[in-house]
Structure formats: structure tokens, C-alpha cells
Amino acid sequence: MKLNDNKYRLIYMEFINNQKARCKSIILCVCILSLTDATSFDDMDTLYKTLTSGHNKYLRPEVDLSSSTVISIDFYIINLQEVNEVDGTVSITGYFDIQWTDNNMSWTPADHGNAEYIVLPEDVIWKPPLINSNSAQEMTMFGMDDLSLYVRYNGQVTWLPGQNLKFSCSFDITYFPFDTQKCTLIIITWGHDSQDIIFNSLNSTLQTSLYSTNSEWDLSKTSVTVSTTGTPMANFTFYFKRRSLFLTITLILPCVFLVLLNIGVFLLPTDSGERIGFAVTLLLAVVLYLTIAQELLPATALPRLSAICIFLMIDFMMSGLIVGSVIVSSRFYFKSEDEPIPNWMKKIVTFQLCCRAKNRVHDGQSTGTGRHEEKGEVLFRNEKVNDSHGNEKEITWQDVSKTFDYISLIFYMMMFIGTNLMFIIDVVQGTS
């Protein structure tokens, strides 16, 4: 039994040794193949010297310079820094994906250690001179000193210049803060026309895979167009839609409630002596919000004055008229009883009181209708009113003041409703 165990042990050990030898052989083959396909430093150094020596980087990379160099250009937007309506500028961060074929940068991989690409500094070979033609800051050529270019063996060059771009934009603030702004970034080649360089874009929209959401603006749509006539031009168009909830809550709704409160001043008793102070305070609050809106908007009326400016100006004028009406009402209320009341005022007061009396009749029991209507007609003819005890008395200046308050309340309420409806309809029609 012991002999058989030793025999099996020897067979097992021999099997294990064979497996180890086989694994070593496989690893050795893989290493030999890897070393065979790898590109050495000397190969890359030789390739670099071959490509850059005697190369004129100031000439377009065409064998026949009468042919145009086709440049493919795309833009990757990373974030939106600022949209400044007052200055008329947009600031963004992103990078361009620019590709072209350089016939002087091609080689056979087998002659250089199977190297299929090389990374070169951007200042050793030709690259297109690109600028932002509608820049809002100093105009400079694209590129940085430490930037590199990716070159493949077939001569295809890839350039990825990153930029902080600030460009001008014509804003339409007609429907602020429910507006959508269309801004275009214009890229042109400096010193070349369409006979030398032709722009091409493989995508009809910007690349937004790296875009970080902005808290104030929503990037709703983008587009890319190129011009092949005259100066080569690539237009990258952004559609920024404002997130309006914040400004609606902090700007529009407070103005609406302020004017509504200002109209309510006619419900306060004149004897309280606080009506004029209350109305003036609300007027100053409306002026404050008007100033805030002016700081947010550019000083322009093109293509038309902003709807929010019209809305706030109407609110301001309405608040001013309310202050004036309160002053007039107080003037009536505290007039001397010795001063006669004009007949046309008496007729207006009597008519208003008759209308209110008829409304009370319709709301009351039907049995007393005829008596009240007859009493109302007598009031209108005799220009007298009933006091709290039902006794007739002459119309006083206090009655004139109360009637004036009643008419003013109805007038300004109708004006308030009409102004808000006009603003809402204008914005809905303009943004739909």
C-alpha cells in the first residue's frame, strides 16, 4: 500500500511540473510578442525628427496649394458662466474639436516600430489661425503654449484648444423674465478665404455631453452652421431659456400685491389720518421694484420696450394717481360745511346712494320693494340722504368724500385687473 501511494505521489508531482512549464512558455511567448509590437523611445525620437526637420509650419499642408484645406470643427460646451443682458455679453467655457489632414505628417508605421500616432507640440506644425470674431474682449488666436496635437500615421491631425470665451450678443428682453435668448459664437479663419480653407462640421448641434446645468438659464437648443463663401466662418448658436420662477416670485408678485394693497387705501376711514402716509409708502415701494428691474435690464427699447417695464410703469402711475385721489378725497372730507356743494356733485352722490339703496332692496324682502324704490326716487329729486336712524338730511362734504372713495375703488380695481390681463396676454402670445 505504501508503494502505491508513493507511485501516485510521483505521478501527481510530474503533472504539476508539466503545467508550470507550460504556463512559463505561454508567458514567455506573450512577452516576446509584446516586445516585438512595442514602439521604443528611439523609434519615436526618429519619427519626431523626421516629421519636424525641414518642415515649414507657415505653409498650408497641401501638395497643391491651389487646393483648399478642409477643416472639421465642433464645439464641446462645458459650462455657462454668465449671461449679462446689461453689457450684452455671454461667457462660456468649452473646447473645440478641430481636425484636418496634413500631407507632410504621414508615415508608414512599419518603418517606425509600428507607431500609429504621435503627440506633437502645437508650435512645430501648421495649424489654422482661428479667432472669435464677435469677441467681447481682446481678440487673440486660439491655442496655448503647452497645448499638443494628436497626429496619426495617415496625416490626420486633431487639435483640442480649450477656451474661456466671452462674446457679444443682441438680447431681446421684450418678454423678460419669460424670455429665450439666441446667441451665436462666430469663429473665422484669420488671413484666409474660402479658396484656402473650407469649414466642415459633422454635427448639426453642439456637443453637450460635458455641459454643467446653469441655475439661471436652461440651454434649450443648439445649432451649428458653416459658411463656405467669402471668409470661412463657423456659427455656433445657443438658445438660452431663462428660469423665470425666481424673478416671478421676487419681482412680479410683490408689485402686484403692492398695487392691490394701494387700492385698498380707499377702504380705510378718512378720520384715521393714515391714508396718505399708507399710499405714499406703497408708492415708494413700487419705485424701489422699478429701480431693481432697471438694473437687471439693458437701457434699450429695441425691438420694443420690455413688457415688465411697461407693467411696472403703469403700476407706478396708478400708485401715483391713487396718492392724488386720496389727497383729493381728504380735501373733500375736511371742507367746511359752510362751503356750498356744486349741484353736479350732489347729483352724483345722490345717484350713487340710490343705486346702493336699490341693491339693498333687491337683496331684502320683496314686500318693501315699492316703498324703497319710491323713497329712492324722492332722494334723487330732493338730493337728500338718510342718516343711520333713517332720517333725511342734507348732503355733506363727507358724503362727497365717501362717494369719491367708492368710485375711485371701482375705477382703480378695474384698471388693475385690465393691466394684469394685458401683461399676461402679451407674454403668453409672445412666448408661445
Low-confidence ranges of the chain (pLDDT < 70): 1-38, 356-393
pLDDT for residue 369: 46
What strands, in cross-sheet order, belong to the sheet with 180-189?
Answer: 130-132, 180-189, 233-242, 217-227
pLDDT for residue 392: 56
Question: Integer distance in angstroms from the first to the last C-alpha of the chain?
Answer: 97
User: What does the alpha-carbon distance between residue 366 and residue 362 come to, in Å, rounded to a whole number?
Assistant: 7
User: What does the alpha-carbon distance between residue 285 and residue 307 come to, in Å, rounded to a whole number?
Assistant: 20
CA proximity to 321, closest of 370, 279, 287, 365: 279
pLDDT for residue 215: 92
User: What does the alpha-carbon distance between residue 67 and residue 306 come to, in Å, rounded to a whole number?
Assistant: 51
pLDDT for residue 357: 66
Q: Which residues share a beta bridge with 197?
A: 69
Q: Residue 102 is inside which H or E element, if any?
A: strand 89-106
User: What does the alpha-carbon distance between residue 131 and residue 139 come to, in Å, rounded to a whole number?
Assistant: 7
Supply 205's cell numbers: 448641434
For the segment 287-317, what is each residue's pLDDT rounded down to a tens digit? 999 898 888 888 877 788 899 999 999 999 9
User: What does the alpha-carbon distance between residue 373 and residue 317 come to, in Å, rounded to a whole number?
Assistant: 40
pLDDT for residue 24: 45
pTM of the full structure:
0.77
pLDDT for residue 17: 53
For residue 182, the 8-state DSSP code is E
User: What does the alpha-carbon distance between residue 51 and residue 124 come to, in Å, rounded to a whole number?
Assistant: 9
User: What does the alpha-carbon distance between residue 76 and residue 208 come to, in Å, rounded to a whole number?
Assistant: 6
Distances from the Cα of 420 to the Cαs of 259, 314, 388, in angstroms?
11, 10, 39
pLDDT for residue 274: 84
Spatial neighbors of 333 by CB under 8 A, at least 6 apart, are 270, 397, 398, 401
